[in-house]
Amino acid sequence: MDCTTALIKKFSCARTKCESIILNVLAPFAMDQIKDELKAVNFVTTKISGIGCAAHILHNAMQTSTDILPIDVKCIVNKIFQYFYIYTARVEVLKEFCDFTNTQYKNLLGSVKTRWLPLQPAVSRTIEMYPALKLFFDTQDKCPTIFKSFFSDPVAIIWLHFIQSQLKVVCDTIKRIERDNISACEWGNSFEELKIFRWTQLINCPTWNDIQKSLTFILQNNKQTGWNVDEDILFDEYNHVVNVINENLKEWQNKYVCVEERWCAIYKILNSKSILINNFWNIVEYSLAMPETNSAIERVFFITNVLWTDEKNRFLVPTIKSIIILKNHFKKYLCNDFYDFLLTQPKLLNAISSSQKYSNDTFDNKGHDEQSTSTQ
């Protein structure tokens, strides 16, 4: 009994310690770093340019197009999933039909309401299991009407293959536009307001007129920043940038160099020559900082759902918030990388090892400025 009590106490203390380190040490440290990085950003504003989310636009387009099909694929796939989800007896019978039809049994998949992305594997799995599923429902005495109608239609499997091919195109596109290091201007050419920033993709050499239009847009939509630009200085900076672009554009095009790498190359070349183009960089920064989708926001809700389940419902809101901060701020760190990073932060290590981590005011930002290293 004493051994069991000691073991429970040990694990309970470990849980409390981990929570305290995340809540009172690592999360405040990450927030301090974010604040330091935001100080160097030129356009921090609550005014948002409404340009639409590309992923949702594709989702809505797919939803509208499938609404005119003779079958509701999403409904069929989800109902098949629910029919077998928690019914072991039905699954065992389905496995027998899989053996009979020489079909490899796999767990059936469902989809969520928010995005067509998870529907692709669900449709593909239904197609793989189609021979066994058709035979299963054809032999059921009390087969649901929706399944009886669907599997008795000889064209049903054709519609599934059609949807599968369309889903692949849409889902591959969504994955591309939701990746890191892509701006709204790279996909938003169809949006009138974003066309003035199309030159930042460096498909061709930008003109001075392109720069002026972008500058006018930024000044009109960010009056609260008080940013004043001397156009004569900006024109000189523009000429420096154009010279670099003309020298390297063909090579970038031949090697399919991505947008951010092209601008990084321009920065390194001009910086090596001690040429400052601060005004020009402000325009580029504004353009490239516009997110391509709201996937970053949706990931916050996804992480919350993963952490806050029926089984793990003892988390408090501050703890969930701290975990989300860490997962997003240090997302590029592997375990070994994060370990090496901690070794460079003695103040942070002292806070982790001391008993002060159980206090809300553990980490004091005042003394870490010279030690903190940006994770971005």
pLDDT above 80: residue 295: no
Task: Please check whether residue 43 is in contact with residue 284, taking contact to mean a CB–CB distance below 8 angstroms.
Answer: no
Structure confidence by residue, pLDDT tens digits, 199-210:
888 889 999 999
pLDDT at 324: 87
Q: What is the pLDDT of residues 201-237, one digit of tens each?
A: 888 999 999 999 888 888 887 776 667 888 899 999 9
Residue in the structure block whose two tokens are 């309970």: 12
The C-alpha atoms of residue 71 and residue 29 are separated, in whole angstroms, by: 53
- Cβ atoms 125, 91 nearer than 8 A: no
Q: Residue 296 is encoded by which pair of tokens? A: 């970053």
Q: pLDDT tens for residues 124-182?
A: 999 999 999 999 999 888 889 999 899 998 888 998 888 888 888 777 777 766 666 65
What pLDDT, on the 0 to 100 scale, is given for residue 367? 43
| Interatomic CA distance for residues 276 and 240, integer angstroms | 9
Each residue of 319-337: pLDDT tens digit? 888 888 888 888 888 888 8
Average pLDDT value for residue range 31-56: 69
pLDDT of residue 179: 63
